[in-house]
Amino acid sequence: ETNFICKLSHRQNQKTNQGMEKKLNNNNIELSEYIVDPRTKTTYLKGKFLGKGGFAHVHEITDLTTNKIYAGKIVQKANLTKSHQTEKILREVEVHNLLEHKNIVRFYGCFEDEKHIYILLENCPRKSLAHVLKKRKVLTEQEVRYYIHQLVEGVEYIHNCGVIHRDLKLGNLLLSENMEVKIGDFGLASHIVKEGYRKRSVCGTPNYIAPEVLSMEGHGKEADIWAIGCIMYAMLVGHPPFETTTLNETYSRISNNSYCMPMNISESARTLIFRMLKSRPADRPDITEILQDEFFCSGFMPTTLPPSCCSSPPKFP
C-alpha cells in the first residue's frame, strides 16, 4: 500500500502490477553510483548534481543502454513521512505526464526502488533564468521579448490542457542546451476540472502570489498571468515588483497593488506589465491575448540567443 508506482497506477485506473519486483541489487543501491529500475532492469549511471528542491535532489542520470542523459529527480522515501507529501509528488507526476510541448520540461517516466522514487526529466543543462538574472542583474528588452514569448507559449499550452502551474517563477524557468525556455516543477500545479472552477486550497506558497490567492478567493488561470507579470517586471527592473524586507509588507503591497514602474522601460513593456498586474483577476488578459500583445512586435525579437547571454548582455546588430 505504500508503493508509489502502485498508487499512481491505481489512480489512473489501471491494473496494478501485482508482481512488481522488489528484489534489488543492494550493492548498487548502497553505492548509489548505479541506479537500477527493478521492473525493467534498466541501469542508469548517476552523475553531476544539478540542484536541490523541497523533497528532491536532482542529478544527471544516464541510461546506460541508450546513453541518453536525463535530469533525474530523486526523492528519498524516508523523507515522505506525511501523506500529503506523497500526494504532492503523485500529483506532480500525474499532471506532468499529460504535458508535451517544446517549452515544458519533458517528462519521460518514473520508477522506484526500495528507498527512492526517480523521476526522469528532460535535462536542462543551462540552469534557470534565476541563475541568469543573478549574474546579469537586468536583461535587455530583446531578451525579455524572447524569454517571455516562450514562457507564454508554454503557459498557453498548459492552460489549454486545463492545467494551472501556480508557481511560475524565474527558478522554475529552465534553459535547454540551445537556450530554449522550459517550464519545470509541476509540484504545485493543479488540474482544473471545469472552466471557471477555482481551487481554494493553498498547499505550499507560490513565489509570486496573486492578490486573489492571498485573500483566499481562490486560484484560477489568472494567477499564472499575475506571475508572468512579476517575472517580466523582475527581468527588466532587476527585482520583483512587490519585494520588501518582510513578508507582511510584501503581502500588503500586493493587496494594495502598490509598485513602482521605472520610466526607462519602453512603453509597450510597461503597458503589458500593467495589464498582467491588475488587482482583479478578471481584468487581466488571458494567455492567448498576451501572445497578441503589441510588446512582441514593437521591437526586435531574437529567434535564438547565444549561451553567452547567461553571463553577459548580447550584442544585437
Q: Which of residues 90-149 bind ligand ADP (CB under 6 A)?
A: 105, 121-124, 127-128
Amino acid at 34: Y
Q: Which of residues 31-50 bind ligand ADP (CB under 6 A)?
A: 50
Cα–Cα dist 261/115, whole Å = 50
Provide, rounded to whole angstroms, the least separation between the CB of residue 273 and ligand ADP: 25
Stretch 246-285: interaction string toward ligand ADP, x if CB under 6 A: ----------------------------------------
Residues written for the chain: 317
Copy the grid coordinates of residue 192: 482544473
Residue 73 annotated as binding?
yes
Stretch 49-68: interaction string toward ligand ADP, x if CB under 6 A: -xxxxxxx-x----------
Provide, rounded to whole angstroms, the least separation between the CB of residue 148 and ligand ADP: 20
Provide, rounded to whole angstroms, the least separation between the CB of residue 172 and ligand ADP: 7
Active-site position among 113, 167, 185, 293: 167
Provide, rounded to whole angstroms, the least separation between the CB of residue 239 and ligand ADP: 19
Residues that contact ligand ADP, how many (by CB under 6 A): 21
Provide, rounded to whole angstroms, the least separation between the CB of residue 189 and ligand ADP: 11
Q: Which of residues 91 and 145 has its CB atom nearest to ligand ADP in the complex?
A: 91
Which one among 71, 148, 163, 305 touches ligand ADP, defined by CB under 6 A?
71
The residue number with the shortest CB distance to ligand ADP is 53
Provide, rounded to whole angstroms, the least separation between the CB of residue 104 and ligand ADP: 11
Q: Which of residues 197-226 bind ligand ADP (CB under 6 A)?
A: none
Stretch 151-190: interaction string toward ligand ADP, x if CB under 6 A: --------------------x--x---------xx-x---
CB of 162 within 8 A of CB of 192? yes
Q: Which of residues 47 and 302 has its CB atom nearest to ligand ADP in the complex?
A: 47
Q: Which of residues 157 and 295 has its CB atom nearest to ligand ADP in the complex?
A: 157
CB of 230 within 8 A of CB of 175? no
Q: Which of residues 35 and 124 has its CB atom nearest to ligand ADP in the complex?
A: 124
CB of 175 within 8 A of CB of 198? no
Specify whether 167 is catalytic.
yes
Q: Which of residues 278-317 bind ligand ADP (CB under 6 A)?
A: none
> What would the 3-class secondary structure string for the chain be?
CCCHHHHHHHHCCCCCCCCCCCCCCHHHHHHCCEEECCCCCCEEEEEEEEEECCCEEEEEEEECCCCCEEEEEEEEHHHCCCHHHHHHHHHHHHHHCCCCCCCECCEEEEEECCCEEEEEEECCCCCEHHHHHHHHCCCCHHHHHHHHHHHHHHHHHHHHCCEECCCCCHHHEEECCCCCEEECCCCCCEECCCCCCCECCCCCCCCCCCHHHHCCCCECHHHHHHHHHHHHHHHHHCCCCCCCCCHHHHHHHHHHCCCCCCCCCCHHHHHHHHHHCCCCHHHCCCHHHHHCCHHHHCCCCCCCCCHHHHCCCCCCC
Q: Which of residues 184 and 281 has its CB atom nearest to ligand ADP in the complex?
A: 184
**How would you class 123 by CB atoms within 10 Å of its CB: exposed for 0-12, middle for 13-18, buried for 19 or more?**
buried
- Binding positions are 73
- Binding positions for ATP are 73
Residues that bind ligand ADP (CB under 6 A): 50-56, 58, 71, 105, 121-124, 127-128, 171, 174, 184-185, 187
List the catalytic residues.
167
